[in-house]
Copies of this chain bind each other. A is one copy, B any other.
């Protein structure tokens, strides 16, 4: 990535009022719903003949949830325009989010067209769940303003957006996208380098691959796999990620105790994923990261927080299950 000094005026990201969404399927449509709820004007375009109708259905379905969560001032479904052409959709956009199907050639072509039609200096972000921007920006005349802004389904609810540039992206565009998404109410992880699958999908994919192996070998059923998460570790993960979860598995000694005592279990034939060697450097990086994340809270304080969250999460989920 071009590391030249960022020239982005951070406030400019908060001046964006008009977003173009190119591609309006489950993810693109989810973005449309999110931006409308945050009070933006949205122009959308999708080549499918029934796209406009499907998009309005998706937004209508999401709107009650978004209303309950609280709409931004001026938020309205009337702020959506479905454009007839890509060029029309991006002509006045101040930020562009592309959510086309996962097909590299298609994305290369589409991003080049978006680049050609979008006003200069407007950042173009791709929802790709796996392609590196380096591979997608190859045919753009102005590749510097292209970045990945990878959301999670549904983009109108799940806060996470992973932001990362490709080799030809410029730092100001990465910074602008990160800033814009934060202002638009998302939780941004700004990555320093491209990694296939980014971060969350790699972790999610590790579970998914192991689950497929277990079903393939007749070791577990789909039902058992899902229950093993929803009734087990899944109840902890909304508050504590995998690292802090294991910080608490170490008792009062935290991550240090956990790694020093259970480190050898990494050699066990659990999962088909080979573990890295637990070098002193890796150990320290994990321990220091957990200390930082704990932010001064003691293990008993973290445990109390976790217990409160698990109870609240169980209650919330049981309510949804009970209302069926």
Contact = CB atoms under 8 A, between A and B. Distances in A.
User: Which of A62, A199, A244 has the most chain B CB within a 10 Å cutoff?
Assistant: A199
Nearest to A223: B293
A224 B204 contact: no
19 contacts: A65-B311, A69-B311, A152-B233, A157-B310, A158-B235, A158-B236, A159-B314, A189-B224, A199-B228, A202-B214, A212-B266, A216-B276, A216-B279, A216-B285, A222-B285, A225-B241, A239-B321, A272-B274, A305-B321
Contacts of A219: 193, 195, 199
Given A231-B160, A232-B160, A324-B305, A225 B199 contact: yes
Contact of A241 (B196, B215, B230): B230
Contacts of A1: none
Prevailing SS type, chain A contact patch? helix
Interface string A197-224: 1011111111111111111100111111
A271 B206 contact: yes
A61 B111 CA distance: 56
B241 A220 contact: no
B208 A246 contact: yes
A227 B285 CA distance: 17
A240 interface: yes
B202 A270 contact: yes
Give me the 3 closest cross-chain CB pairs, A-B, nearest first: A222-B289, A226-B241, A312-B316
A222 B235 CA distance: 20
Nearest to A229: B241
Given A25-B251, A209-B206, A316-B313, A243 B228 contact: no
A271 B205 contact: yes
A292 interface: yes
A8 interface: no
Given A214-B199, A215-B285, A270 B226 contact: no
